[in-house]
Amino acid sequence: MSAIRSILLAVALTAIGTGLSWAQSTNRQSDEKALRAVFSEMEAAVVARTPERVAALHAPDSDIWMSGGDVISGMDEILRNEQEFEGTSGFQGYRIASIGKIRFIGGDAAIVNIEEVAMIAGKEQQAGSTVIFARRDGRWRIAGVRVMRFGPPTKR
């Protein structure tokens, strides 16, 4: 009988613990507002050509994967990549054209699809990206970016 009680107690504690981890953030409106603020800061930082501000929005172990390209891992590589992007000959501007539905995965992770537009040498270049967020130390940070397409505007 003691073994059965131990098992039931373990199951109950696991259920309570799982419930507590999901309860870390029940205010999704506040979380969505915070995530949108990260996108606003990212857009402002790129427009101002301050790659350090963009890199600071990422978690230390963040990575960026360009479809068909290399994986850019860690803060140093992300900063270097951002410096190259903003320093591209003919770079004229950047904006986030749309932010898709914010999907929360547990209490401290979210996935968001975005559409981005860069103006380079007078031509629009569009990107469709998936951004993965993780809440660390009470702050939402970019944990990963998957750029699924980049190039001239496409008709859909």
Dihedral sign, CA of 55, 58, 61, 65?
negative
CB half-sphere exposure, 53, CA atoms < 13 A: 14
Residue 89, in any domain of the structure: yes
Residue 51, in any domain of the structure: yes
| pLDDT tens per residue, range 57-87 | 999 999 999 888 889 999 999 999 999 988 8
Domain of residue 75 covers 27-151
pLDDT score recorded for residue 74 = 94
Residue 10, in any domain of the structure: no
80 burial class (0-12, 13-18, 19+ CB within 10 angstroms)?
middle
20 has a pLDDT exceeding 80 = no
CATH number, position 82: 3.10.450.50
Residue 15, in any domain of the structure: no
pLDDT score recorded for residue 59 = 97
Report the length, in residues, of the chain: 156
Total domains in the fold of the chain: 1
Residues 13-22, mean pLDDT to the nearest whole number: 41
Residue 2, in any domain of the structure: no
Residue 4, in any domain of the structure: no
Residue 59, in any domain of the structure: yes
Average pLDDT, the chain: 84
Residue 140, in any domain of the structure: yes
| CA distance readout (Å), 56 to 14, 44, 65, 82, 107 | 36, 13, 18, 11, 22
Residues 105-130, mean pLDDT to the nearest whole number: 93
Helix ranges (H only) for 2-131 are 2-22, 28-47, 51-56, 74-86
Question: Which of 10-19, 43-52, 115-124 bottoms out in mean pLDDT, i.e. has the lowest?
Answer: 10-19
pLDDT score recorded for residue 26 = 63
